[in-house]
Amino acid sequence: MSPVDWPGEPPVDLEAIDAVPGRAREYVALASDGTAYRIRRERNAVRVLHAFALPGISPDGNYEGFALARLAHGKLVAVWADRGGDDHPAKLTAAEWNPRTSAFGKRDSAPFSAPYPAEDVRHVSDLKISAGGALTVASASDPGDDGPYASALYTAGHLAVGDHGRIRLRMAHTPERLGSFSGHKIEALACLPKSREGILGTDDENAGGSLTEAAFCRP
């Protein structure tokens, strides 16, 4: 890993990033207020190609998850989520995304509540979509800068194509827990190409951060 320069004033509280499928060195990064930044890496700096607000965001939302994927049938989709908290479920939203214009198609939304952790919970701290449409969600407990933290990974549901080609979220009635991680606050997921292996990134505040591997991806 190496740092890159951001032109001008950097965004406040970037929470998620994913590569734009089929576009080398292009990414979409998401700030917690729902502002997305389409960027291109150019050597040791990034160029901001476009900044835009995600559609349908709430002024009270705190957005932590964002992912892009080209599904097996060819549609390029985006999924994003606010984190929710305790008795307030996270809200996931999915839509087709046009990489030429950064425009979104009709949206579908659904709530998600993590069975674990049970207290000080962020129901969605990051997410990923597989080419087959499987939706993997990280959930985390965050009681403060000194923890103690806990996290879990879930198969939360999948994306389907409904009438007129509209993207639909089909949430699992009972999410399948893929793993539990005591002592860590997972805030980043990344999948290796054509592999079940993925990378988990944590932000454990005063205890620092860490990376580890886990077999949670769906090639």
Tell me what pLDDT residue 2 has.
77
Instruction: State how far the alpha carbon of 157 is from the alpha carbons of 128, 129, 136, in Å.
Output: 11, 10, 8
Instruction: Write the DSSP string, 128-165.
Output: EE-TT-EEEEEEEE--STT---EEEEEEEEEEEE-GGG
**Dist. CA 8–CA 11, nearest whole Å:** 9
Give me the pLDDT at residue 8, please: 87
Instruction: Give pLDDT, residue 4.
Output: 87
Strand-by-strand arrangement of the 198-203 sheet: 186-191, 198-203, 209-214
pLDDT reported for residue 1 = 64
What is the block-wise mean pLDDT of the chain (219 residues), using blocks of 10 residues? 84 94 94 96 92 92 94 89 94 94 94 95 95 94 95 95 86 94 95 88 95 87
Locate 88 and state its tokens: 């307030």
Cβ-based neighbours of 152, under 8 Å, separated by 6 or more: 114, 116, 117, 138, 139, 140, 177, 178, 179, 180, 181
Residue located via tokens 């129901």? 123
pLDDT in tens, 8-38: 888 989 999 999 999 999 999 999 999 999 9
**What is the pLDDT, as a whole number, of residue 43?**
86
Query: What pLDDT does 164 receive?
Result: 77
- Six-digit token string for 66: 């964002």
